[in-house]
Amino acid sequence: MTGVKQQLVLIYMILGTVILSMFVPIDWQTQAKVLRDCIIMAWVVGVVNFAYLGGGLNRLLGIRPRAPLGLLGIIFSPLLHRNAGHLIANTLPFAILGWLVLLQGIDNFYAISLAILLVSGLGTWIFGRSAIHLGASGLIFGYLGYLIARGYLEVTLMTIGLAFVVMLLYGDQFWTMLPDSEETTLSWEAHMFGFLGGVLAAYNPIFLEQLNRFLASL
C-alpha cells in the first residue's frame, strides 16, 4: 500500500475510534501504558544489544531451530532485532496492531500475545530453517491473524471494521508468510506460525482462559 493510502486509512481509523469511544468505554491511559512499556523494553534491549554487546544477545537468545538453547528464543526473540532498521520497521506495526487488539479488551491482550509467541516460536523452532530467527514480526502477524479471525467469528460492527482496517493496512504483506529462498533474512516461518497462533487464539477462548490463569498465577 502506498504511503498516501496508509495515511488515509490511519485517519479513518482514528476517526472511527473516536466515534467508537462515544459508545464503548475505552481505557486510553492503560492501553497507552501497555504499548509504551512494550516498545520501551524492545528499544532498551536493542540499544544495549547493538551499542554494547555487538549483537551478542541475538546469538544467545534468538530462535535456533532444533537446538535446545534455541528454545529460549520463543520468549526472548521478539525483543531482538538484526539492526536499528529492523527494530524501527517493527515498532509502528506493533503499536498499531497491538492497539487494535487492546481495543477489544485489555484483559486478554497478554494471553493473546503469549498464545502467539508460543505457536510462532515453537513452530519456527521445529520447522524453521537453520538460522537465527529474530524480531517481533511473528507477534505482529499473530495480531493480524487474531483480528481477521475475530471479524469472521464474532460478526459485529467493531470486529468487522478492525478486520477491514488491518486488511487495508497490511494485506499486501501476506506474501511474506510463504516459503522463500534459503538466503533471505526474512523469517517467513515466524510470520506464518505467528498468524496461525493469532487465529488459534481467536478460535479457542478456552485456551486463552488457561493462559490468563497461568499469567495470573505468576
Q: Return d(Cα 94, Cα 1) in angstroms, integer.
A: 17
Going by C-beta distance under 8 Å and a sequence separation of 6 or more, which residues neighbour residue 19? none
**Do residues 117 and 138 make contact, with C-beta atoms less than 8 angstroms apart?**
yes
Per-10-residue mean pLDDT, the chain, length 218: 55 59 67 91 95 92 95 95 92 90 84 96 94 94 94 81 79 82 74 96 91 89
- What global pTM score does this model have? 0.88
Q: Is 75 exposed, middle or buried (0-12, 13-18, 19+ CB in 10 A)?
A: middle
State the fold for domain 29-216.
Answer: Rhomboid-like fold (1.20.1540)
User: Taking Cα atoms as reference points, which of 120, 46, 129 lies closest to residue 82?
Assistant: 46
Identify the pLDDT of residue 87. 94
Domain definitions of the chain by residue range: 29-216
